[in-house]
Amino acid sequence: MKFRLVILDEVFAELNEAALYYEERQDSLGLALLEEFESALIRISKNPESFQKKYKNFRQSLLNRFPYLVLFEIDESSVVIYRFINARRHPQKRFNKVNK
């Protein structure tokens, strides 16, 4: 079963900031980050339950090439993407904005 993705606006802001950072470092590196993010979304939407719960009902997917996490929660027939964050920065604050 393929789940419908719901992506919060904040995720796009975080993704855009990261992509611009990498694009400034090297041509096409920001694009590579966007492609990795898209691949992560495809994996998540196909089988979100394969990702381990990390905090309450929240799960995470780590990008392959970049140190970023996609934090999400399964909600009935949809998957809500809450955060796109750098895995190396403030790991203790990872779930601050997703607390319900």
Angstrom distance (rounded) from CA 14 to CA 50:
25
pLDDT in tens, 29-62: 999 999 999 999 999 998 999 998 888 889 999 9
Q: SS in 3 state form for 17-56?
A: HHHHHHHHHCCCHHHHHHHHHHHHHHHHHHCHHHCCEEEC
> How many angstroms separate the CA atoms of 2 and 52, rounded?
18
Q: Residue 71 class from Cβ within 10 Å (0-12 exposed, 13-18 middle, 19+ buried)?
A: buried
Q: How confident is the model at residue 100 (pLDDT cuts 50, 70, 90)?
A: very low
CATH 3.40.50.720 fits 4-87, yes or no: no
- The structural domains of the chain, with segments of one domain joined by +, span 4-87
- Separation CA 33–CA 41 (nearest Å): 12
- Give the global pTM: 0.84
